């Protein structure tokens, strides 16, 4: 049975049309009508262009390789597939079922290189390392450089945070201890300073800096199964961090999504923060969808409203729900 989302995708595809909105949870056709493959991903802005990187999980790929896709957009609604930015064979003899997840790309203006971080693991998730690949072009090809445990800590899910002053950070889940935030070195090829350890067992970590306060969100450790994502706040990345609170009614399990990033859009009239999450379909990963929604944020509170279609005006920063 085709779900409504896939039906909409099919209809749009046949009509050769594109959707002028963001439809949380529905199939998201790129400008060629093909469902976007950028799972566990992240978005960066270079000049006027947004790039969305993520796990490429399309059917029919070489199963021994792992792929990171790259899409570009001028409005965050219409995305053009620029190909797979990274295509990698098992770099460390990790064996079948090796894992490359949650890729995040940083642009280093000093070296003028794009540096991709990803979670590298074996099939039992025991390696717990980050891998790095580098490119001179945002769309790749990225060349594999190395892997390590950030500041010697275990690292599974990773998240990306770039502060308003341009400083780049990695958020990573260190299973025995919690959720760490560390600063990238000058050339982004390593981590040079641990900012803090939040002693909460959270993954899918993401941070946003909004009106003088840092907001961190994450999910509980339930694998592909959705759980109630939570947030904490702090005046400085070093903490102290508040306790974690729900971002949505807990019984909704974050509307089936798991956090991957928060994207801040500073417009002429409004600053909008977008919650970006994945709605995983573990048995049909290629059909996993995305939950992107503007959140209600400010004065220490963060709330993810019930998902509904919306549209964004990048210039003003304003968003609108679409009412039929
Ligand atoms: C989730 C994690 C995903 C993936 C999955 C595997 O907890 O966020 O990125 O690693 O587990 O079960």
Question: What pLDDT, in 10s, does the model give residues 220-246?
Answer: 999 999 999 999 999 999 999 999 999
224 Cα–ligand 1 center, Å: 6
**What's the token pair of residue 19?**
């959707």
Pocket probe for ligand 1: among 100, 120, 201, 223, the residue whose CB has the most ligand atoms within 8 Å is 223
Residues 111-123 have a mean pLDDT of 98
Pocket probe for ligand 1: among 55, 128, 203, the residue whose CB has the most ligand atoms within 8 Å is 203
Spatial contact of 320 and 310, defined as CB atoms under 8 Å apart: yes
CA–CA gap between residue 139 and residue 69 (Å, rounded): 9
Burial of 290: CB neighbours in 10 Å, binned 0-12, 13-18, 19+: buried
Residues 131-145 have a mean pLDDT of 98
- Report pLDDT for 14: 42
Q: What is the pTM of this model?
A: 0.94
Quick check: 17 pLDDT over 50?
Answer: no
**What's the token pair of residue 147?**
């892997």
Q: What are phi and psi of 12, to 5 degrees?
A: -65, -40
316 Cα–ligand 1 center, Å: 35
- Report pLDDT for 173: 98
Pocket probe for ligand 1: among 101, 260, 283, the residue whose CB has the most ligand atoms within 8 Å is 101
> What's the whole-number average pLDDT of the chain?
95
Rg (CA), the chain: 18
CA–CA gap between residue 2 and residue 10 (Å, rounded): 10
Task: Name the pLDDT band for 9 (thresholds 50, 70, 90).
Answer: low
Residues 190-204 have a mean pLDDT of 97
CA–CA gap between residue 90 and residue 99 (Å, rounded): 9
Task: Name the pLDDT band for 15 (thresholds 50, 70, 90).
Answer: very low
Spatial contact of 170 and 130, defined as CB atoms under 8 Å apart: yes
pLDDT above 90 covers what percent of the chain? 93
- Report pLDDT for 3: 61
Quick check: 38 pLDDT over 50?
Answer: yes
Quick check: 10 pLDDT over 90?
Answer: no
133 Cα–ligand 1 center, Å: 21
Quick check: 47 pLDDT over 50?
Answer: yes
Q: Characterize 69-92 residue by residue with b for buried, 16 or more Cβ atoms within 10 angstroms of its Cβ, and e for exposed.
A: bbbbbeebbebebbebbbbbebbe
Query: What are the distances in angstroms from CA 285 to CA 7, 14, 219, 297?
Result: 18, 24, 19, 31
Quick check: 154 pLDDT over 90?
Answer: yes
Is residue 54 within 6 Å of ligand 1 at its C-beta? no
**What's the token pair of residue 289?**
């969808």
Closest by CA position to 240, among listed 300, 180, 198, 194: 198
Residues 273-301 have a mean pLDDT of 98
Quick check: 133 pLDDT over 80?
Answer: yes
Is residue 174 within 6 Å of ligand 1 at its C-beta? no
Ligand 1 atom closest to the CA of 222, numbered from 1: 7
Q: Which residue has the higher pLDDT, 14 or 34?
A: 34
Query: What are the distances in angstroms from CA 278 to CA 40, 54, 142, 292, 296?
Result: 6, 11, 24, 9, 19
Ligand 1 atom closest to the CA of 258, numbered from 1: 8
Quick check: 324 pLDDT over 80?
Answer: no
SS3 string, the chain, reads CCCHHHHHHHHHHHHCCCCCCECCCCCCECCCCCECCCEEEEEEEECCEEEEEEECCCCCCCCCEEEEEEEEECCCCCCEEEEEEEEEECCCCCCCCCEEEEEEEEEECCCCEEEEEEEEECCCCCCCEEEEEEECCCCCCCEEEEEECHHHCCCCCEEEEECCCCCEEEEEEECCCEEEEEEECCCCCCEEEEEEEECCCCEEEEEEEECCEEEEEEECCCCCCCCCCEEEEECCCCCCCCCCEECCCHHHHHHHCEEEEEEEEECCCCEEEEEEEEECCHHHHHHCEEEEEECEEECCEEECCCCCCEEEECCCCEEEECCC
- Report pLDDT for 323: 82
Is residue 57 within 6 Å of ligand 1 at its C-beta? no
47 Cα–ligand 1 center, Å: 32
- Report pLDDT for 313: 97
Quick check: 286 pLDDT over 60?
Answer: yes
Q: Which of 8-22, 80-94, 155-169, 174-188 has the lowest mean pLDDT?
A: 8-22
324 Cα–ligand 1 center, Å: 35
Residues 277-290 have a mean pLDDT of 98
Q: Which residues pair with 117 in a beta bridge?
A: 104, 132
Task: Name the pLDDT band for 8 (thresholds 50, 70, 90).
Answer: low
């Amino acid at each position: 049975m085709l779900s409504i989302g896939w039906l909409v995708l099919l209809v749009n595809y046949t009509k050769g049309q594109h959707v002028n909105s963001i439809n949380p949870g529905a199939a998201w056709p790129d400008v060629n009508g093909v469902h976007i493959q950028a799972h566990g991903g992240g978005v960066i802005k270079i000049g006027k262009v947004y790039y969305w990187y993520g796990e490429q999980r399309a059917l029919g790929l070489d199963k021994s390789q792992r792929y990171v896709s790259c899409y570009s957009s001028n409005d965050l609604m219409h995305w053009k597939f620029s190909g797979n930015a990274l295509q990698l064979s098992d770099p460390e003899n990790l064996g079948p079922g090796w894992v490359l997840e949650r890729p995040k790309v940083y642009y280093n203006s000093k070296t003028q290189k794009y540096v991709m971080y990803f979670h590298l693991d074996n099939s039992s998730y025991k390696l717990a390392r980050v891998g790095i690949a580098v490119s001179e072009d945002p769309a790749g090809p990225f060349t594999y450089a190395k892997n390590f445990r950030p500041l010697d800590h275990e690292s599974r899910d990773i998240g990306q945070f770039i502060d308003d002053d341009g400083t780049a950070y990695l958020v990573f889940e260190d299973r025995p201890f919690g959720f760490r935030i560390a600063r990238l070195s000058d050339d982004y090829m390593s981590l040079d300073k641990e900012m803090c350890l939040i002693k909460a067992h959270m993954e899918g970590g993401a941070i946003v800096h909004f009106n003088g306060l840092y907001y961190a969100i994450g999910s509980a450790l339930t694998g592909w199964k959705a759980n109630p994502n939570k947030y904490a706040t702090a005046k400085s990345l070093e903490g102290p961090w508040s306790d974690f609170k729900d971002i949505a009614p807990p019984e909704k399990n974050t509307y089936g999504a798991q956090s991957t990033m928060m994207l801040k859009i500073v417009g002429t009239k409004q600053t909008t923060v977008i919650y970006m999450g994945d709605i995983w379909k573990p048995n049909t990963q290629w059909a996993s969808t995305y939950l992107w929604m503007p959140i209600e944020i400010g004065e220490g509170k963060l709330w993810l409203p019930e998902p509904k279609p919306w549209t964004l005006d990048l210039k003003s920063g304003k968003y609108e729900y679409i009412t039929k």
